[in-house]
Chain A
């Protein structure tokens, strides 16, 4: 059988991913995780002396803590298999990437193993997040200087 013919056969046999179902699952799980984050945020605002502006830090720390526990117990990967992007996009996904890499490389020691591989998966997030933030800020600064927008 020729390559093109085989590729055609493969296209016909391979089931299409259930896009709609996946989108719905990601939407609801992602929303649920964010709702929990909002609850944590409100908790800090009401019971502690944090304002809406300052509650961001402890909220993220707490949410990442939850994700760390779930990853260590092996539960986060089950959520991930179900939700896909819904669990990978929120900061819990970032926490999961870092913690799972740390657990995996423990056998090679703390410095080269854990330290060297901690950001194996999350490194891109950090790098491209910082770089794009820089460029967005630069663009805004230029626009403000021209006078198109104001701060």
Chain B
């Protein structure tokens, strides 16, 4: 009796409305950033971390669009650079970056630690092997 109930519950869990677009850090242009991302229909979920002048945009591309992951990543990067030329923006479609970005939000990191973490993630995303 408990096993089918468990299965049903775990399946239904996926149906719950998860927060798909998260923006963390300085709340200046939160809604603006969110709207910018929502425009692009290939983005499934996204977590943006910003601190002062640096912005980390971690996105998860929709499954079928994943074939063009790098192209879409670059497109989104250009879009953000155009919108915020005075900010240091970094866009990544990598799952690791997204996961770490969510962890930042969960742990509610602040100030220097936040800034360091963002720099660390940007370095990590650039690694090739």
Contacts and interface: CB of A to CB of B under 8 A. Distances in A.
A53 B99 CA distance: 14
B101 to A, nearest CB: 12
A65 to B, nearest CB: 19
A52 B129 contact: no
Contact of B94 (A46, A49, A53, A57): A53
Point out which of A46, A51, A52 has the most chain B C-beta atoms below 10 A from its C-beta: A51
Nearest to B103: A46
Contacts of B129: 54, 57
Interface in B93-129: 94-97, 99, 124-125, 127-129
Nearest to B92: A51
Nearest to A55: B96
Contacts of A57: 129
A50 B124 CA distance: 8
Nearest to B93: A52
Contacts of B127: 51, 53-54
Interface in A27-65: 45-46, 49-55, 57
A106 to B, nearest CB: 33
A52 B124 contact: no
A32 B46 CA distance: 30
A120 to B, nearest CB: 30
Nearest to B125: A51
B36 to A, nearest CB: 24
Given A54-B129, A57-B129, A46 B124 contact: no
A45 B95 contact: yes
A43 B124 CA distance: 17
Nearest to A56: B129
B95 A52 contact: yes
Interface string B15-28: 00000000000000
A45 B127 CA distance: 13
Given A54-B129, A57-B129, 9 more contacts: A45-B95, A46-B99, A49-B96, A49-B124, A50-B96, A52-B95, A53-B94, A53-B128, A55-B96
